[in-house]
Amino acid sequence: VNQPAVFENICFILVQTLHSGNIGSAARALKNMGLHRLKLVNPCDPANRECQMMAVGANDVVENAPRYSVLEEAVADEHVVIGTTSNRGRRQKTRIYTPREVAPLICQYAESQRVCLVFGPERRGLSEQQLALCRYLVTIPASPLFPTLNLAQAVMLMAYEIFSLSETERTPPPELATEEERSRMFRHMERVLLEIGFLSRSNPGHMMRAIRRILGQADLTERDVRILRGIMSQMEWYVRSGKNLDRKDILKP
């Protein structure tokens, strides 16, 4: 997926937003997720202090957002319109998608066409007439005891699902020690733990397996192996040098 080109075709539309802070937060959320196209339908004042405060570094997204007086105008040049709804009390006439189900559809369409996601006003949501403009409907899964999400949170979840699909680059895993390096480390441990009497000479394997299991859960890098062997070497040195002898000597009159 060519992310910039695809994302150029994805637009978020906020309809009759009541709180300007939500417009700022939504803009920030979009920009966090690599999106930037926003349209505002009959909004509260999006140029005020509250909006700017919440947008932080995403004021450009708000400033570049065209304004419309009705939703029909805002979606006029869109190929696919997707509406968000709380779905409470709605008759189940059409399939309601989850964000995770609809995100791949959005990205597919956006390869070659303009797609928009529409969010209604706080509390009320989109009207039946506005929902009728939509090709797909989405509801964000939520607790039935407290299902009303903040508008900007809903925008974030949708943007996150879209962004997660385009996220192919992963952070590289740490560079690990080889099994040979780990084996040498465990043999070293066994020698030292025998020497200090932690392992029984008759059955050192039992406890060594437990230690191997504990450390086997870590992604041990070469440096980690050096640290753990460092502890063992220090113990060996301490044991052989008679370091504690000095202290005993000092105690002697």
Amino acid residing at 98: T
CB burial of residue 55 (10 Å; 0-12, 13-18, 19+) = buried
34 vs 42, which CB is nearer to a second copy?
A: 34
DSSP secondary structure string, 109-154?
HHTTS-EEEEE--TTT---HHHHTT-SEEE-----TTS----HHHH
* Amino acid code (one letter) for 57: G
* Least distance CB 70 / a second copy (angstroms): 26
Q: What are phi and psi of 115, to 5 degrees?
A: -125, 140
Nearer to a second copy, 15 or 225 (CB): 225
Minimum distance of a second copy from residue 46's CB (angstroms): 17
Closest distance between a second copy and the C-beta of residue 217, in Å? Answer: 4
Indicate the residue among 57 and 205 with the shorter CB distance to a second copy.
57
Helix axes 222-241, 179-195, angle to 10 degrees: 20
By beta-carbon proximity to a second copy, the closer residue of 104 and 216 is 216
Class of residue 232 by CB neighbours under 10 A (exposed 0-12, middle 13-18, buried 19+): middle
Residue of 109, 116, 110, 95 whose CA lies nearest to 158: 116
33 CB-near residues (< 8 Å, 6+ apart): 156, 159, 160, 162, 163
Q: C-beta of 73: minimal distance to a second copy in Å?
A: 26
Please tell me the distance from the alpha carbon of residue 138 to that of residue 167, in angstroms, as a whole number: 22
**How far apart are alpha carbons 82 and 134 in whole angstroms?**
5
Q: How far is the CB of 93 from a second copy (least distance, A)?
A: 6
Of the pair 14, 74, the CB lying nearest a second copy is at 14
Nearer CB in complex with a second copy: 201/248: 248
118/225 with CB nearer a second copy = 225
Least distance in Å: CB of 157 to a second copy? Answer: 6
- Minimum gap (Å) between residue 82 Cβ and a second copy: 16
